[in-house]
């Protein structure tokens, strides 16, 4: 340990304080001191020295110095034990061993190694977390999260080693082979699971639309994977509500293969329909866990119709239409209003793309259509007749508009509550190209909700980019800018998918297309979830004037397939409500949402939680991956039955170096009582010696 003194002030002050202290002492003892003739020169110097030291210490306290303690603490080298806690471990043949024997052997092994290493135990699967007890309940295996966790938490530490126990199977995240380059410590691997020859047939994937229609055929593609099944046959059965819809038999002439079979299924009832897929064979399979799967279809009796009105074609129209039609619940029609008037029969939503426009001669079109009380989406661009929109009194007024436009980036309003966007989706939108937006002073004349603001020249503004208002009882959405076809293009470049862009457009359209005249309590959620997934539910409550508020409390009463009920309280979020239920078992759930005010509003609905069989789709131990991880990080690979060799290996590593960490602590001198006591002692000693030498 070493001790030093530090201060936030310049050390030049010390020289000034020395001069001042010296001056005071010289004045008191050598310049005009009547006692200097009664004391010897040595006695004067002693008294002056005591006075000088006391005064200097008092001045130095004005610098607020602190004492810096530096010490070094020795730690044992770190050994991180990372255990695969996914379901696939128990799907192997040695289930009893991994449930009853393996946990005790590993625990004993780590306890014995604790004498030489500081053991950090973690588990991974769907997420990385501290390991307390093995239960093999993770529904996916993600090596990427594990490697990122190790990088973030241990890369800066010396003498770190990792011991990884897994079957080498991953089904989420990236390929770990390509993430090893940045690791600067070895990963030793223990291979778990059975590597013997496997005979198995399994459901690898199911592809279907999430939305269908009553008594209408819908295609479903079933992906089937077979291992060592040459010359055998198996059957495929698809059921709905216990009724067999499809029964097909497949005979194999290959040993190992993958094939997709397409079938047409339909339901004669609307609502959430769960379809069950089953594969059966006469051979003794490695596992039957992967022979069952299911999919859910929301069966509707009608589609919602959307009319997209324009008078000059623009690439935005194609991007908008393709995004909307991703949802099979919607059908769209493009209407060139310069040539025809929209037919409004059975139209649920009107989209006005730069309508009214500077080229459109029929200025009364908007008023004619608004009289039909149909929700609208207005997209404003260079060709929009904004002066006419201001006269139409639709809830937004653009003041001082002089036909000038500016580049506006997407900036999320964190207080927006009409619907939810994920953090990754928001981050993606905030990096997309700008829209071309009108320069004006935006003023709202009715209740409004802003989804996104305009970010102009890297300046965050409160100018709306996407907003929602009301006109009478109908909802209106606004996109103040053209050029979002680039959003679709760049979103794909960033995420290799159009999902984020399509999701935003569909959420806007779904919000508008709800029958607002009849629904004052609106509930939003997915139709189906996987077991272990958070159940996220959003709600909106409107008063009789159809104004959004959340003054009342909302309660959700949930009933499972066994008629057991659970009650949950919604959390208020700005003007809306949110609820997250962390875990539910697989099955069909019905709910009722109740408002505890005089309105007595309530809504009923249902959703399905499906078994997550991701871990059963691939049960072949990936020994090669584990060997590559070890080789790529200069680690060692062990078979599952070599736990004794693991102990010998780590205990025979010569002289693992202890880790020295530096510990620094700071304490203010002014807080230390002994400094003040020392100054007082100096002053008392000076007084005592003066009295003693001059005689009491």
Residue 292 belongs to domain with CATH number: 2.60.40.10
For residues 280 and 312, state if they share a domain.
Answer: no
For residues 455 and 535, state if they share a domain.
Answer: no
Range of the domain at 686: 2-71+665-694
Mean pLDDT, the chain, integer: 86
Residue 668 tokens, joined: 């203010």
Which residue would you say has higher pLDDT here, 532 or 164?
164
Which residue would you say has higher pLDDT here, 659 or 56?
56
pLDDT, one tens digit per residue, over 570-612 is: 998 878 899 999 889 889 999 999 988 766 788 999 999 998 8
Determine, yes or no, domain membership for 189.
no
Report how far residue 511's alpha carbon sits from residue 504's, in angstroms, rounded to the nearest whole number.
11
For residues 89 and 67, state if they share a domain.
Answer: no
pLDDT, one tens digit per residue, over 18-38 is: 888 888 887 877 776 666 667
Q: pLDDT at position 36, please?
A: 62
In DSSP notation, 204-256 reads: EEEEE-SEEETT--EEEEEEEEEES-TT-EEEEEEEETTEEEEEEEEE--SSS
Determine, yes or no, domain membership for 191.
no
Determine, yes or no, domain membership for 190.
no
pLDDT, one tens digit per residue, over 221-237 is: 999 998 888 888 899 99
Q: What is the pTM of this model?
A: 0.59
For residues 469 and 549, state if they share a domain.
Answer: no
Contact 52, 695 (CB under 8 A): no
Determine, yes or no, domain membership for 76.
no
For residues 158 and 231, state if they share a domain.
Answer: no
In this structure, what are the phi and psi dihedrals at residue 574, rounded to the nearest 5 degrees? 55, -115
177-182 long-range Cβ contacts below 8 angstroms, 24+ apart? 177/625, 177/628, 177/629, 177/632, 179/143, 179/144, 179/147, 179/148, 180/147, 180/629, 180/632, 180/633, 182/151, 182/155
The pLDDT > 70 percentage for the chain reads 90
**CATH code, domain carrying 353:** 3.40.50
Q: pLDDT at position 696, please?
A: 54
pLDDT, one tens digit per residue, over 83-102 is: 999 999 998 888 889 999 99
For residues 312 and 431, state if they share a domain.
Answer: yes
Model confidence at 517, pLDDT cuts 50, 70, 90, reads very low
As for how many domains the chain has, the answer is: 5
Contact 305, 321 (CB under 8 A): no
Q: What is the mean pLDDT of residues 489-506?
A: 90
Determine, yes or no, domain membership for 529.
yes
Least confident window among 348-352, 384-388, 553-557, 615-619 = 615-619
For residues 567 and 627, state if they share a domain.
Answer: no
Contact 112, 85 (CB under 8 A): no
Report how far residue 454's alpha carbon sits from residue 480's, in angstroms, rounded to the nearest whole number.
9
pLDDT at 423 over 70: yes
Query: Pick from 300, 326, 355: which residue ends a domain?
Result: 300
For residues 292 and 317, state if they share a domain.
Answer: no
């Amino acid at each position: 340990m070493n001790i030093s003194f530090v201060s936030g002030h310049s050390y030049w002050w010390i020289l000034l304080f020395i001069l001042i202290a010296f001056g005071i002492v010289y004045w008191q003892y050598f310049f005009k001191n009547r006692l200097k003739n009664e004391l010897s020169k040595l006695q004067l110097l002693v008294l002056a020295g005591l006075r000088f030291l006391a005064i200097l210490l008092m001045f130095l306290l004005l610098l607020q110095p602190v004492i810096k303690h530096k010490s070094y603490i020795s730690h044992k080298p770190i050994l991180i034990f990372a255990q695969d806690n996914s379901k696939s471990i128990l799907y192997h043949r040695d289930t009893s061993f991994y449930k009853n024997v393996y946990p005790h052997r590993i625990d004993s092994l780590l306890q014995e190694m604790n004498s030489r290493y500081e053991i950090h135990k973690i588990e991974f699967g769907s997420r990385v977390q501290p390991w307390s007890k093995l239960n093999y309940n993770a529904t996916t295996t993600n090596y990427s999260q594990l490697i990122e966790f190790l990088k973030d938490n241990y890369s800066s530490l010396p003498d770190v080693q990792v011991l990884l126990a897994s079957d080498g199977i991953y089904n989420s995240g990236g390929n770990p082979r390509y993430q090893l380059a940045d690791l600067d410590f070895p990963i030793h691997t223990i291979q778990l699971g059975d590597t013997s020859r496997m005979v198995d047939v399994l459901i690898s994937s199911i592809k279907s639309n999430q939305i269908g229609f009553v008594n209408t055929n819908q295609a479903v593609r079933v992906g089937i994977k077979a291992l060592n099944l040459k010359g055998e046959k198996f059957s495929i059965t698809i059921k709905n509500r216990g009724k067999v819809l499809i029964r097909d038999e497949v005979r194999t002439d290959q040993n190992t293969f993958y094939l997709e079979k397409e079938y047409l299924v339909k339901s004669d009832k609307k609502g959430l329909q769960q379809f069950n897929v089953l594969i059966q064979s006469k051979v003794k399979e490695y596992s039957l866990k992967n022979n069952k799967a299911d999919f859910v279809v929301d069966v509707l009796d009608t589609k919602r119709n959307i009319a997209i009105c324009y008078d000059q074609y623009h690439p935005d129209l194609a991007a908008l239409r393709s995004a909307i039609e991703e949802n099979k619940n919607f059908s769209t029609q493009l209407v060139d209003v310069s040539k025809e008037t929209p037919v409004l029969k059975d139209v649920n939503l009107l989209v006005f793309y730069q309508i009214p426009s500077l080229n459109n001669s029929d200025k009364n079109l908007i008023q004619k259509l608004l009289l039909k009380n149909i929700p609208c989406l207005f997209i404003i661009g260079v060709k929009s007749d904004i002066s006419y929109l201001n006269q139409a009194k639709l809830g937004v007024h653009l003041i001082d508009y002089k036909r000038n436009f500016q580049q506006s980036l997407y900036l999320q309003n964190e207080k927006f509550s009409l619907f939810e966007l994920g953090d990754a989706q928001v981050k993606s939108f905030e990096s997309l190209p700008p829209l071309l937006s009108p320069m004006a002073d935006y003023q709202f004349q009715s209740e409004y909700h802003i989804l996104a603001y305009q970010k102009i020249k890297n300046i965050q503004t409160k100018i709306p980019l996407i907003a929602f208002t009301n006109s009478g009882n109908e909802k209106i959405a606004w996109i103040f800018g053209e050029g979002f076809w680039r959003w679709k293009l760049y979103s794909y470049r960033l995420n290799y998918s159009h999902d984020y862009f399509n999701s935003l457009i569909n959420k806007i359209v779904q919000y508008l297309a709800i029958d607002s005249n009849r629904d004052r309590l609106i509930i939003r959620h997915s139709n189906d979830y996987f077991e272990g997934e958070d159940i996220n539910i959003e709600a909106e409550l409107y008063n009789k004037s159809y104004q959004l508020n959340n003054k009342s409390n909302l309660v959700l009463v949930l009933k499972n397939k066994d008629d057991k009920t659970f009650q949950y309280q919604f959390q208020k979020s700005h003007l809306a409500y949110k609820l997250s239920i962390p875990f539910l078992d697989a099955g069909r759930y019905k709910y009722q949402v109740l408002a505890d005010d005089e309105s007595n509003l309530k809504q009923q609905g249902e959703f399905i939680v499906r078994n997550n069989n991701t871990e059963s789709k691939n049960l072949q131990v990936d020994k090669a991956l584990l060997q590559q991880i070890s080789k790529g990080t200069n680690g060692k690979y062990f078979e599952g039955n070599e736990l004794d060799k693991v102990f010998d290996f780590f205990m025979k590593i010569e002289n693992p170096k202890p880790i020295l960490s530096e510990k620094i602590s700071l304490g203010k001198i002014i807080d230390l009582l002994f400094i003040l006591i020392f100054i007082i002692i100096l002053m008392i000693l000076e007084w005592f010696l003066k009295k003693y030498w001059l005689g009491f």
